Amino acid sequence: MPNSRPSSGSQRDFGHYRASWEQSADALLLADSNTARIVDANPQAERLLGRSLGELIGLHIIDIYPADQSQLAAASFAAGVAGNDEPAKLDVLWPDGVRIAVEVHAHLCPPLRRCEPMVLVTLHDFIERQLAEHEAASRNWALSAIHRATVAAMDADSELDLMNANCVGIASEGATTFIALANDDEEHSLTIVSAQGPGAAFVKELDLSWADVPKGQVLAARAIRTGTTQIVHNARDSERLAPLAATIGVESVMAVPLQDGDRVLGAIAIFSPVPGVFGAFEQGLFEDVARQLVLGMRVRREKLVFREQVERNRRQEEHVRLALEQTVAAIAATIEYRDPYTAGHERSVAELSEKVARELGMPSDVCHGLFLAGLLHDVGKIKVPVEILCSPGRLNELEYGLIQMHAEVGYEILRGIEFPWPVADIARQHHERIDGSGYPQHLRGPEIILEAQIVACADIVDSMCSHRPYRAGLGLERALDELRTLRGVKLDAGVVDATLHVMQQAG
């Protein structure tokens, strides 16, 4: 097109409008109102109509439209001459036959310097608007798909759930989506771990590789191999994608690598029903999705490893606890072998102590600890001579002193073992009384730990109910009466009440 524009009377008359004329975003034509022939055109009109200014000047205004629209074009121009500026939807025609949809405004201009009135014809093409609408539709599709994928992925627990959630979210907008993970085998095979959408069944049957071989030429494989996003804007023009496009309506395809540092884990592929949907903006969005997906996969893999470690620790802890309990039971059995008259005493005290602790609302773990402490509360008797333990007569002061030593001895035996509960202190304090009359430390009130006070009550109940070498069992009612007598004097009132309630429930 020529860069210079010919001078004319009309151009001189409109010279003061030249800057606006030249810079207008719309195509502008100036036509004689009588002859309907073009006398001037701006640069945008030259581009829109595919003709130079020299080709346009002198051309009848009707000649820029297709022949099948001549009457509509003439009516539009006539309406403009008549002062009726009503827009018309027409096509303009390029010399090579290309038609471009435009909105036409014909507007009568007042005469200047004795010139004939002119008609200003404005041609506003829809290309930019169509492009903008297409771009908005593409963005809305991508944003909606990603939003659905993000929302669905929030509740995903496992790595597979996460990948399924992403595919379901994207496929909900009419796309077919799959995620393929790269395998480190000799064939460099690909595993389709999730596929959703109208083409999912087709995708799941694919035999893929990410190697540079014939079956490794799909976009997902190339994305993995190169570590870059792969896009096909028109699937119908692709020999490989045309059958899928015809079957499920695929128009454009994108594959984004799932990059984790220097390693490509796989790819996410999106087959969209919207043509040309994957512009730079949409590509950036889905690459963000891929990054978030990789991050989610990493987090869930770390969580799985953590859970497995927690489970191993739990099993190991359970094993250690079982071994500990078996050891405790063996020690308790050893004590009973030395004193057959008190056989079963440790277990009875242990069971009652645990029940009272539960009655007091103590945590389950603490209750279990009390059970083990009950089994060991008399472990110090291992140092007391058997003839004293089994003596049928009344003990003298020295012998009774040896018996009392079992609380301190039990503490010395147990304090070197790292129990998660105060087992050693319980063994040491279970004969203490809140008025200071107990032994071996003569502790008072809150100086005695609650667990020891619980074992003390249980010990009194079972001892009084059981037979001893020096007396027959006194019975449960005598034992409970003893608790009531000692309540608030030598024994903690709350612990006594809980013990009584447990025994009453037991019948």
Q: Hey, what are 434's tokens?
A: 């809140």
Please calculate the CA angle 204-210-213 and round it to the nearest 5 degrees.
105
CATH 1.10.3210.10 location in the chain: 339-506
In whole angstroms, give the CA distance from residue 216 to residue 456.
Answer: 78
Main-chain dihedrals φ then ψ at residue 491, nearest 5 degrees: -120, 145
Residue-level pLDDT, tens digit, the chain, 507 residues:
334 444 444 444 445 567 778 888 888 999 999 999 999 999 989 988 889 999 999 999 999 999 999 999 999 999 988 888 788 999 898 887 778 888 899 988 876 555 678 899 998 876 666 656 656 666 677 777 777 767 766 777 788 888 888 888 777 767 888 999 999 998 899 999 999 888 888 888 888 889 999 888 889 999 999 999 999 888 777 767 777 667 777 888 899 999 998 899 999 999 888 777 788 888 888 888 888 888 888 888 888 888 889 899 888 888 877 877 787 877 777 776 666 656 678 888 999 999 999 999 999 999 999 999 999 998 888 887 776 766 666 777 787 787 889 999 999 989 988 888 999 999 999 999 999 999 999 999 999 999 999 999 999 998 888 756 555 567 788 989 999 999 999 999 999 999 999 998 876
Closest by CA to 363, choosing from 446, 266, 451, is 451
In whole angstroms, give the CA distance from residue 45 to residue 297.
Answer: 55
Query: How many Cβ atoms are within 10 Å of 437's Cβ, its own excluded?
Result: 12
* Contact status, residue 202 vs residue 248, Cβ threshold 8 Å: yes
* CATH code for the domain defined by 339-506: 1.10.3210.10
What does pTM read for this prediction? Answer: 0.47
Cβ-based burial of 383 (10 A; exposed 0-12, middle 13-18, buried ≥19): middle
Order the strands of the 263-272 sheet from edge to edge.
190-196, 176-182, 263-272, 252-260, 230-232
Residues 6+ apart with CB under 8 A from 427: 373, 376, 377, 378, 379, 380, 407, 410, 411, 413, 414
CATH 3.30.450.40 location in the chain: 132-304
Q: Which residues does residue 256 pair with via DSSP β-bridges, in sequence order?
A: 268
In whole angstroms, give the CA distance from residue 149 to residue 173.
Answer: 10
Q: Which overall architecture, per CATH, does domain 132-304 show?
A: 2-Layer Sandwich (3.30)
Which class in CATH covers the domain with range 9-125? alpha beta
Q: Hey, what are 91's tokens?
A: 């096509």
